[in-house]
């Protein structure tokens, strides 16, 4: 369980089991999209925030960073301003409200609905995708 400014309910790597009644025979709950996915450009300067997913309830977000060499940090918040301000590359020992998305990663995060997201890289640029849904 990870709590980050009260927004993150739970974090799980995609291949870890989540214990719910809908699990398959191996104990996994496959991710089911619920709404359109978004491709967001991540740059060192950051960018505008995008609202993704339904307005309420707990929502699982599938975050894919297909880049071969760019790590991203995704700021999130209940407003566009909060998401942009939270999109920071962390300094060792500094706490941030950003989701780390290493190069080549596929992760799911459970957050409250109605979140805004704003990705940022340390150097270079890449495109990440975020899809709202259930499971993971």
Model pTM score:
0.76
Query: What is the DSSP-derived secondary structure letter of residue 80?
Result: H
Render each residue's pLDDT in the chain as its tens digit; 136 residues.
444 444 444 444 443 334 444 545 555 668 889 889 999 999 998 888 999 988 878 899 999 999 989 999 999 999 999 999 999 888 776 767 889 999 999 999 999 988 999 999 988 999 999 999 987 6
Cβ–Cβ < 8 Å for 135, 32: yes
Residue 63 covered by a domain: yes
Q: How many structural domains comprise the chain? A: 1
Q: Which two tokens stand for residue 40?
A: 């967001």
Of 130, 109, 107, 111, nearest to 119 (Cα)? 130
Burial class of residue 57, CB neighbours in 10 A (0-12, 13-18, 19+): exposed
Residue 1 covered by a domain: no
Residue 2 covered by a domain: no
Question: Could you tell me where the DSSP H helices lie in 27-93?
Answer: 80-86
């Amino acid at each position: 369980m990870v709590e980050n400014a009260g927004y993150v309910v739970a974090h799980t790597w995609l291949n870890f089991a989540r214990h719910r009644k809908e699990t398959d025979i191996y104990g996994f709950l496959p991710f089911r999209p619920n709404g359109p996915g978004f491709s967001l450009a991540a740059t060192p300067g950051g960018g505008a925030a995008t609202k993704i997913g339904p307005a309420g309830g707990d929502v699982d977000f599938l975050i894919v960073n297909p880049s071969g060499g760019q790590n991203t940090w995704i700021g999130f918040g209940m407003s566009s301003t909060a998401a942009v301000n939270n999109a920071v590359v962390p300094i060792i020992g500094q706490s941030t409200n950003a989701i780390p998305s290493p190069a080549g990663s596929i992760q799911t995060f459970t957050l409250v609905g109605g979140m805004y997201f704003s990705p940022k890289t340390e150097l270079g640029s890449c495109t990440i995708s975020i899809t709202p849904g259930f499971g993971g």
